[in-house]
Amino acid sequence: MPADSDTPTFFTRFSTQAVPRERQLLAWRDRVGHVVDVLPDKAQVERGFEGKIDLHAAGGLVFTEARTEALVLERSIARVSTDTRRDFAFHVYAEGETGHVGGVNLKRSEPGSVRGIVAFDLNQRFRLERPACRVLTMFVPRPIVAAHIGDCEALHGRVLSFDAPLAGFVLQHFDATARELPTLERPDAIDLLDAGAQLLLSAFAGKPHASPDARTALQTAVKAQAKRYVETHLHEADLTPMNVVDALGVKRATLYRWFEREGGLAAYIRERRLREAADELVRLPNLQIADIAFGLGFKSASDFTRAFRRAFDVSPLEMRMCALELLRAQPAGHLTRARAARSTGARGSG
């Protein structure tokens, strides 16, 4: 799924909290009205409406994170015939359920309101009665969907429970996407969104390993999940590669193979611990070096010192002294300079 290099990256944020209560639901309707109509009732208008939405766009893909109270959305036949939106919207319910989907031809086997994902073809009508939720939505251009799913029109209104193959990975990937997008540079944002789109399409196609793109997307998502697990548990002494395998529920050989470029999963964990140790040496100058070592799972101070010297060509004490000298010499922007000094001493360890 090649990204359009000429497409700009942009971000917007909106909340009804900045709007007078009697205008809140109407303001929300104006905000999302370029895609779907919000059907308010008088009581809902009078009591106010809580809703906020972040929107990110990069590489031809649009991703939103929204939190709202219960509401009714509709895309009518008249609306479909008068606007030009023809892409697909995939709603991933991180909190709450999919709600009642109407105005579409659903199979009897389709689940009702569940925790899961629902797909909408914006070239067709629908009505959605949605409970309060946190929903992560990706808009995927129609040509991309059609290239991966032959009868893409049949996706309209389909619901996938998070129990379905790949659906759980989609949720985890999108939840991470919502957290990480604000901090990413444009190429990384495009890669993250692209992997999410591939996972979505593979999940709905029911063929998670059918294409090289789908396999790459799955590898990207699972590997990112493994790295997040490592970051979360970095200070736990019993963090091991098998802990990661068990937590993710994937085959050990598969996950180990995906970390070959980093020298293996065990090497990746050690490298992250060493870099975290280097950062703590700078940030926490009063913390004993041995405490940093034990706090990051090293069995002894000597083992830590040997590993640290192999990674950075200096001892932990030497790095700390260098950082302190820089702090004294450069009071403005000192943390950035100290970290820069730390990184220049590091060997490329993958």
Residue 294, domain member (yes or no): yes
Last residue of a domain, one of 197, 230, 263: 230
Tens of each residue's pLDDT in the chain, 350 residues = 444 444 446 899 999 999 999 999 999 999 999 899 999 888 989 999 999 999 999 888 999 999 999 999 999 999 999 988 999 999 999 999 999 998 887 665 566 688 999 999 999 999 999 999 999 999 999 999 998 888 899 999 999 999 887 788 889 889 989 988 888 888 888 888 988 898 898 888 866 555 676 677 777 778 888 888 898 899 998 899 999 988 887 788 888 888 998 999 999 999 999 999 999 998 898 899 999 999 999 989 999 999 999 999 999 999 998 888 887 776 554 444 444 444 434 443 33
Residue 310, domain member (yes or no): yes
Q: In terms of domains, do 166 and 37 share one?
A: yes
Q: What pTM does this model have?
A: 0.71
Here the CATH number for the domain that contains residue 78 is 2.60.120.10
d(CA 295, CA 292): 5
Residue 260: domain span: 241-344
Total number of domains in the chain: 2
Residue 349, domain member (yes or no): no
Residue 236, domain member (yes or no): no
Q: In terms of domains, do 312 and 204 share one?
A: no
Residue 2, domain member (yes or no): no
Last residue of a domain, one of 230, 255, 280: 230
Q: In terms of domains, do 104 and 226 share one?
A: yes
Q: In terms of domains, do 222 and 262 share one?
A: no
Q: In terms of domains, do 253 and 171 share one?
A: no
Q: In terms of domains, do 83 and 220 share one?
A: yes
Q: In terms of domains, do 299 and 329 share one?
A: yes
Q: In terms of domains, do 325 and 284 share one?
A: yes
Q: In terms of domains, do 70 and 219 share one?
A: yes
Q: In terms of domains, do 221 and 252 share one?
A: no
Q: What is the pLDDT of residue 100?
A: 92
Residue 170, domain member (yes or no): yes
Q: In terms of domains, do 169 and 253 share one?
A: no
Residue whose tokens read 């979360």: 232
Residue 14, domain member (yes or no): yes
Q: What is the pLDDT of residue 338?
A: 43
Here the CATH number for the domain that contains residue 283 is 1.10.10.60
Q: In terms of domains, do 259 and 212 share one?
A: no
Query: Is 186 exposed, middle or buried (CB count within 10 Å of its CB: 0-12, 13-18, 19+)?
Result: middle
Residue 251, domain member (yes or no): yes
Q: What is the pLDDT of residue 10?
A: 84
Last residue of a domain, one of 202, 230, 258: 230
